[in-house]
Copies of this chain bind each other. A is one copy, B any other.
Amino acid sequence: MVPVVIPVRLSEYRLRRRVQFYEVDSAGIVHFSWFFRYMEEAEHALWRQAGLSIAQRGAAVGFPRVSVGCEYHQPLRLEEEFDVTVRVEAITGKAIRYACLVTRGETRIATGTLTVVCVSRDADGAMKAVDIPTEIASRFEVAADIGTAVEG
């Protein structure tokens, strides 16, 4: 009898990270632009966990960002350890929206969102939104408690 493998669908990843010297500005806190890179790192780690790569060599599709935002609650400082939690908030035919939460221990540092859209490229590099391939969309599911986790 052939065993039935039901692949796990992922909806969340928590990345542990330390603030690096080159991320800190002259005010002694992480420059605000870095939080978007932190969120992206967590997103890509989620994809790897799901057995995928965000930018596979020779892939037919890519996932540029179309809308992002971040609210800053507390500063992060040099060498502090922190967590970046990314959760799948919505998947539509062509787009994925993630909610992100940056925390240092129990302290909420920042909350953000990333919306990415699946695109194909023609020979000139022009991008066109297309449906997310099933082998990618099927690896994720919307997080059940996203509202509670990020807003609570």
Contact = CB atoms under 8 A, between A and B. Distances in A.
A41 B25 contact: no
A33 B44 contact: no
Interface residues of A, number: 39
A26 to B, nearest CB: 4
A18 B40 CA distance: 14
A75 B63 CA distance: 12
Interface stretch (A5-13, A49-57, A91-99): A49-57
A75 B125 CA distance: 10
Interface of A: 20-22, 24-29, 31-34, 36-37, 40-41, 44, 48, 53-55, 57, 62, 64-72, 75, 77-79, 125, 127
